[in-house]
């Protein structure tokens, strides 16, 4: 039996090596990192710059495994010698208490699943980040507006709908009134992408999410720390969204944006992605999705 296992392992190792050399020979890459000008750079370059930053916005494609893997790798690497704070769009602000109770052992993993509105892909894509923070005793900040309040903005008349919230509910959103610029290109793109079905209130809901995430990032950022935030790429692409609100309130901090894009050929960054972020992770569009 042991000999058979050794033969099997040997075959698998040989097969892996053959596939690796084959891929190398065809110059196929699962992903390539580019800077904002479209020049190929190494992960080491990205890490060196990230180590000098106060706040980093990591824009992911929610179902892209390369996004999630590199989020975890960057968090682990920044935790080596940095005062690191993690935060995420994927956990809403009113679930912070449940998350804190999980970190302190008051509730277990099942309790967290019961009390917090975890995304369907939490187990595969976000739990590794939460567990890294829990084990390393790092703060993990739930930054997103509770979805019911974003829905109120969209369906019930814009920002004014939030004014009727009780004071304790307003603790989970950016302070009102928020500054809003509907002419920002990314907000205008929302309307064009909806092909006539978008409304000003839909853009307001997006802005309220951005403003709320920026609010909780700054509320939990302290000098000499690095805040690494995970969010959907659209929330920080082209240095708008969350970053626009961060810079409005704290223009002197050092910010870095990362985004993720998919292309049929990763050998050269397509022109539409130039300048999308300080670093652009270009992933082969055939990459397996997490859901």
* pLDDT tens readout for residues 255-270: 999 999 999 999 999 9
SS3 246: helix
- Residue 37 has what pLDDT? 98
**Phi/psi of residue 230, nearest 5 degrees:** -110, 130
Which H or E run includes 142?
strand 140-144
CA distance 102 to 82: 24
Task: Answer positive or negative: Cα dihedral of 280, 282, 283, 286.
Answer: positive
What is the per-residue pLDDT across 153-196, written as a single tens digit (0 to 9) for each? 999 999 999 999 999 999 999 999 999 999 999 999 998 887 76
Average pLDDT value for residue range 125-147: 98
Query: Phi/psi of residue 7, each to 5°?
Result: -65, -40
Report residue 82's pLDDT band, with 50, 70 and 90 as the boundaries.
confident
List the domains of the chain with CATH numbers.
30-284 (3.40.50.11550)
For the chain, give the mean pLDDT: 91
Q: Which 8-state DSSP code applies to residue 10?
A: H
Q: Which residue has the higher pLDDT, 123 or 25?
A: 123
């Amino acid at each position: 039996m042991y000999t058979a296992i050794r033969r099997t392992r040997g075959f698998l190792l040989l097969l892996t090596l053959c596939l690796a050399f084959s891929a190398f020979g065809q110059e196929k890459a699962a992903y390539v990192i580019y800077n904002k000008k479209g020049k190929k750079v190494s992960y080491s370059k990205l890490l060196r710059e990230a180590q000098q930053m106060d706040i980093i916005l990591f824009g992911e494609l929610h179902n892209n495994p390369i996004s999630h893997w590199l989020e975890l790798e960057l968090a682990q690497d920044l935790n080596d010698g940095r005062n690191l704070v993690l935060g995420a769009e994927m956990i809403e602000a009113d679930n912070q208490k449940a998350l804190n109770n999980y970190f302190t052992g008051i509730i277990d993993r099942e309790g967290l699943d019961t009390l917090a509105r975890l995304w369907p892909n939490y187990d595969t894509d976000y739990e590794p980040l939460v567990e890294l923070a829990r084990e390393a005793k790092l703060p993990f900040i739930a930054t997103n507006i509770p979805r019911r309040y974003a829905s109120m903005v969209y369906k019930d008349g814009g920002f004014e709908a939030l004014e009727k919230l009780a004071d304790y509910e307003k603790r989970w959103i950016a302070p009102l009134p928020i500054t809003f610029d509907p002419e920002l290109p990314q907000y205008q793109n929302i309307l064009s992408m909806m092909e006539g079905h978008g409304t000003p209130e839909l853009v307001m809901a997006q802005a309220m999410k951005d403003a709320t995430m920026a609010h909780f990032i700054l509320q939990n950022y302290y000098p000499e720390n690095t805040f690494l935030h995970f969010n959907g790429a659209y929330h920080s692409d082209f240095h708008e969204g969350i970053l626009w609100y961060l810079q409005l309130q704290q223009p002197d901090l050092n910010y870095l944006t990362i985004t993720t894009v998919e292309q049929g050929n990763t050998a050269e960054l397509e022109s539409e992605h130039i300048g999308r972020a300080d670093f652009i992770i270009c992933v082969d569009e055939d990459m397996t999705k997490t859901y």
